[in-house]
Structure 1
Amino acid sequence: MTAPAEITPPEGFIKSQGRGDFSTINGPYYHRAEQQEGLTQQAFFAEQRHANGLGLVHGGMLTAFLDGLLAAAVWRETQTRSVTIHLSVDFLHMARIGEWVMGDARVTRATRDVAFVEGRAYVGGHDVVRASGVFKLMHRRAR
């Protein structure tokens, strides 16, 4: 199954812009226009190009989605760009072509230099992937 020419995102979600070439090529990604307090929410529509040889959403796609989602939660909470130091991913269930993969993440703790984040991706009523990460906050150096 391929995506329709015009994908209608879930209610309250809009297409994300300016995420860099990697995310642009692998997306499109969508985010909730009005985020809940402390929660960052994103989604993508699983297309054939996101699938592995079994016709399921590839683990690499799910991992990339979660990495970007957790990083977005860090940005939202700290207003600081970050890079991934550590990412732990647990695969719990399958996502299939033609499904909306939804995700939410929240920062559990932030210091001056690092942020700790937890998130999940889910389809319908079941979690597909859970992740936790540690992100280095990238402060601008004085010149």
Structure 2
Amino acid sequence: MSRGAEGDLSGEESILPPPGFVLSATRGPYSTHNGPYFHRDPQGEATEHAFLALRRHANGLGLVHGGMLTSFMDGLLAAAVWRASRRSSVTIHLSVDFLHMARVGEWVFGESRVTRLTRDVAFVEGRAHAAGTDVVRASGVFKLMRKPAD
């Protein structure tokens, strides 16, 4: 993959995901616009997603913007809810702790798991890491929609 003079990554459409990860093609318009995101088939309890930090994901310091990390974590936690319940959900509460920095050009990997599932609500926790260091941890509460998703 080529890099421009300012650390920009060109040829976004040719991003090769890490081994075992595939493009997440069925996400909503917001996530599709902000991605691309990738996921890996379940390897145990954890749901795993990843994205390559592009220049457009950065703040003025060249670090991945907190809003990008928060959006990534929200989607990651929601994916764990889907996996555990096979029902769509909406975020009731999301708590995010920023632990370290991720930079443009790094892969950000996240994993999440449901810690408690009731008839109407799911409790989830997750973390994201880049370059071998935890970057974000998050927990959330999700309202399960009544109609199961197709």
TM-score, length of structure 1 as denominator length = 0.95
Tell me whether 1:26 sits opposite 2:18 in the alignment.
Answer: no
Distance in 1 separating the partners of 2:109 and 2:9: 16
Tell me whether 1:9 sits opposite 2:12 in the alignment.
Answer: no
Aligned length, in residue pairs: 140
Distance in 2 separating the partners of 1:77 and 1:124: 29
Residue 2 (structure 1) shift? 2.2
Letter in 1 for 2:102: A
Provide structure 1 residue ranges, at least 5 long, that are not aligned to the other structure: none
Residue 4 (structure 1) shift? 4.0
Query: Residue 74 of structure 1 is aligned with which of 76, 81, 94?
Result: 81
SS at match of 2:100: coil
Distance in 2 separating the partners of 1:11 and 1:2: 23
Distance in 2 separating the partners of 1:46 and 1:130: 17
Contact 1:3 1:45 in 2 (8 A): no
Superposed CA RMSD in Å reads 1.1
Distance in 2 separating the partners of 1:45 and 1:28: 8
Residue 125 (structure 1) shift? 1.7
CA offset digits 1:71-112 (Å, max 9, x no partner): 000000100000000000000000000000000000000000
Letter in 1 for 2:18: P
Misfit runs of 4+, over 6 Å: none
TM-score, length of structure 2 as denominator length = 0.91
